[in-house]
């Protein structure tokens, strides 16, 4: 398939089931919303070493939040419900509760609950107060600038992790410009996040490596500097590859994000130095979800 001079490979992205949740973080001002949300989603690029994958889904207007203040919706994904609960407790406890004027609410209520404020309440040292409002339970934890208000639980949903596509560009500028356009397009899709820095991965990986104990190592087939030394998958004229990894609350969200991202890339066309779009998979043997690029772009 070729669109606007860009080749779309006949392949698929292989993705995995993950447990996901949405949190809503609010604060007195947008600055402090950013401070809390960015901190809690830091070092959350890959479950391989970070415990979870997380990012800001979108910023929220005061009219959209439970307490009428500016906010952010944050998505977190982990490989199991227990691991997600652990990551939620650590990240909200260390990054949101500590942030000036913050509050934290469940961003969804359908699904099995995991502790949110229920785990953090003990920080109140006996002075915490439970409050049921509008059928939902909250904890008020006294802190030095007033109270940290936190919903008791959040709900876990069956999400999808590892949706992806690769942008094969003529040079670094071409792949970067195309990736930046894709990131802007994907961030407008509800229910999907790009957990890597700036939404983009340059160090795509393959499973295992030559060294004992390495779970993953550099994706040699797509490293332009190794062309000729390893079996390369790079077409002629490609000198830079960037990957976009997408996590979503549903397969549909991942599919929509891939479509939006690839659409933004191909709209720039071959004239902008974009040569091809492909995707990463493991032959379909590992992941439950397959997103075929031709079907996504049909």
CA nearest neighbour of 164 among 226, 248, 42: 248
- Select the residue interacting with other proteins from 63, 110, 134, 211 (CB under 8 A): 134
Nearer to other proteins by Cβ, of 127 and 282: the residue is 127
Is 140 a residue that touches other proteins (CB under 8 A)?
Answer: yes
- Select the residue interacting with other proteins from 12, 16, 32, 138 (CB under 8 A): 138
Q: Whole-angstrom Cα distance, residue 79 to residue 221? A: 27
Least separation in angstroms between residue 34's CB and other proteins is: 19
Nearer to other proteins by Cβ, of 134 and 213: the residue is 134
Distances (CA, A) of 96 to 28, 106, 110, 157, 230: 13, 13, 23, 22, 46
Structure tokens at 179: 């990736």
- Residue 230 DSSP label: B
- Select the residue interacting with other proteins from 129, 188, 214, 286 (CB under 8 A): 129
Is 68 a residue that touches other proteins (CB under 8 A)?
Answer: yes
Sign of CA dihedral 289, 291, 295, 298: positive
Is 116 a residue that touches other proteins (CB under 8 A)?
Answer: no
Nearer to other proteins by Cβ, of 145 and 295: the residue is 145
Site string for other proteins, 93-112 (x = CB under 8 A): ----------x---------
Is 29 a residue that touches other proteins (CB under 8 A)?
Answer: no
Is 131 a residue that touches other proteins (CB under 8 A)?
Answer: yes
6-8 vs 274-278, strand pairing mode: parallel
Structure tokens at 284: 């379909």
Direct distance between the N- and C-terminal alpha carbons of the chain, in angstroms, rounded to an integer: 10
Least separation in angstroms between residue 156's CB and other proteins is: 23
Nearer to other proteins by Cβ, of 16 and 139: the residue is 139
Distances (CA, A) of 20 to 36, 52, 53: 19, 9, 9
Q: Whole-angstrom Cα distance, residue 166 to residue 96? A: 34
Is 282 a residue that touches other proteins (CB under 8 A)?
Answer: no
Give the binding-site size for other proteins (rule: CB under 8 A).
17
User: Which residues of the chain form contacts with other proteins (CB under 8 A)?
Assistant: 66-68, 103, 126-127, 129-134, 138, 140, 146-147, 149
């Amino acid at each position: 398939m070729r669109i606007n001079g860009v080749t779309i490979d006949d392949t698929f992205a292989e993705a995995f089931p993950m447990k996901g949740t949405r949190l809503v973080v609010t604060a007195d001002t947008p600055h402090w919303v950013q401070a809390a949300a960015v901190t809690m989603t830091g070092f959350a690029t890959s479950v391989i070493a970070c415990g979870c994958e997380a990012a800001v889904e979108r910023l929220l207007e005061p009219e959209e939040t439970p307490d009428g203040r500016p906010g952010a919706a944050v998505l977190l994904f982990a490989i199991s419900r227990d691991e997600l609960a652990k990551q939620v407790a650590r990240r909200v406890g260390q990054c949101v509760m500590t942030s000036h004027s913050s509050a934290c609410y469940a961003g969804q209520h359908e699904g099995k609950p995991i502790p949110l404020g229920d785990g953090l309440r003990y920080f109140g040292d006996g002075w915490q107060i439970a409050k049921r409002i509008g059928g939902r339970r909250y904890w008020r934890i006294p802190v030095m600038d007033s109270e940290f208000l936190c919903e008791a639980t959040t709900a876990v949903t069956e999400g999808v992790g590892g949706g992806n596509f690769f942008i094969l560009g003529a040079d670094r500028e071409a792949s970067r410009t195309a990736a930046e356009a894709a990131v802007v397009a994907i961030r407008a899709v509800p229910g999907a996040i790009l957990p890597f820095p700036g939404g983009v991965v340059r160090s795509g990986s393959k499973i295992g490596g030559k060294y004992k104990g390495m779970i993953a190592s550099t994706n040699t087939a797509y490293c332009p500097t190794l062309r000729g030394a390893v079996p390369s998958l790079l077409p002629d004229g490609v000198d830079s590859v960037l990957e976009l990894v997408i996590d979503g609350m549903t397969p549909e969200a991942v599919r929509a994000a891939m479509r939006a991202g690839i659409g933004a890339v191909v709209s720039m066309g071959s004239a902008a130095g974009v040569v091809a779009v492909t995707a990463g998979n493991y032959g379909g043997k590992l992941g439950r979800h397959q997103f075929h690029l031709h079907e996504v772009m049909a």
